[in-house]
Amino acid sequence: MPHMWFKVAGLSGASAVGAAAYGAHGYKPDDPNFTKVYQNANSFHLLHSTMIAMAPMTRHPHVIGGMFTAGTILFSGSCYAVALSQDKAVGKLAPVGGSALIAAWLAVAALA
């Protein structure tokens, strides 16, 4: 059932576009430095939603789809949490998510 990754990618991409709309029109942090954190989260979210959609085209769709999904949730989710709470302490999982995304890209190189 590798085509489930199309559904995951669709939900991820739709939520990334919704988050972009909120970031452009509704997000007004007290400290403008958090705007960059939010934009970084959204850029990674949208980019890696596309990679999740590519997972069914690989020889190991569940490995690659799972790695990109986990990395996106951990990295972008942590960055969104930091930006929305305006508290850097809540972003402790961002490095784990970033490492998962690096590993996902290496998995594409090695396994796809």
Among candidate residues 61, 29, 24, 59, the one with its CA nearest the CA of residue 39: 24
> Which pLDDT tens digit goes with each residue over 24-49?
999 999 999 999 999 999 999 999 99
Where are the chain's structural domains?
4-111
Mean pLDDT of all residues belonging to the chain: 97
Low-confidence residues of the chain: pLDDT under 70? none
Q: What's the residue count for the chain?
A: 112
The pTM for the full model equals 0.95
